[in-house]
Amino acid sequence: MSVCGIEYPVAYTVEAQNTIAKRFDGIENIEKAFDNSDIAKMVDNVAFIASALMSGAEHRERVRCAMFSIECDAKTAPTYEMLCAVMSPSDIKTAMEVIMAAIKEGNRVTVEVQPEKSKNAKATQSK
């Protein structure tokens, strides 16, 4: 997500999801964030969710680096208050697109399938 010309990663982690869920009394109520009947509230909600996703990406990277004992160059994510100070209402459409893509990616399920061993296969002997 671009903030003042600086790119920040976003990630829909469990930590980010929990932060968002607290604000909306459950993650199932996240659609309230995008209710455009109150534009000011929607803009505020988008800044909050963007902050949670950027913080989630930063924390995930710092934990990953610590787990592998490698140097970490994660950018410090802007806080909600910082985003409110620098974002304008015109930034919201782009921010919403980034948020929706991050949530979709975070909820994507990858299934690896291995071939089933055939019960009727005959054992082969090597000579």
* Tens-digit pLDDT profile for residues 9-18: 999 999 999 9
pLDDT (tens digit per residue) in 76-91: 999 999 999 999 888 8
Which helix or strand (DSSP H or E) is residue 3 part of?
A: strand 2-3
Determine the distance from the C-alpha atom of residue 37 to the mean position of all C-alpha atoms in its chain, rounded to a whole number. 25
Residues in the chain, total: 127
Determine the Cα angle at 84 with ends 89 and 58, to 5°: 115
In a domain, 112, yes or no: no
Domains in the chain: how many in total?
1
Domain of residue 19 covers 2-107
In a domain, 50, yes or no: yes
The pTM of the whole model exceeds 0.85: no
In a domain, 114, yes or no: no
Pairing outcome for strands 6-7 and 2-3? antiparallel
In a domain, 124, yes or no: no
Question: What residues in the chain have per-residue pLDDT under 70?
Answer: 110-112, 117-127
Contact status, residue 37 vs residue 54, Cβ threshold 8 Å: no
Distance CA 96, CA 35 (A): 12
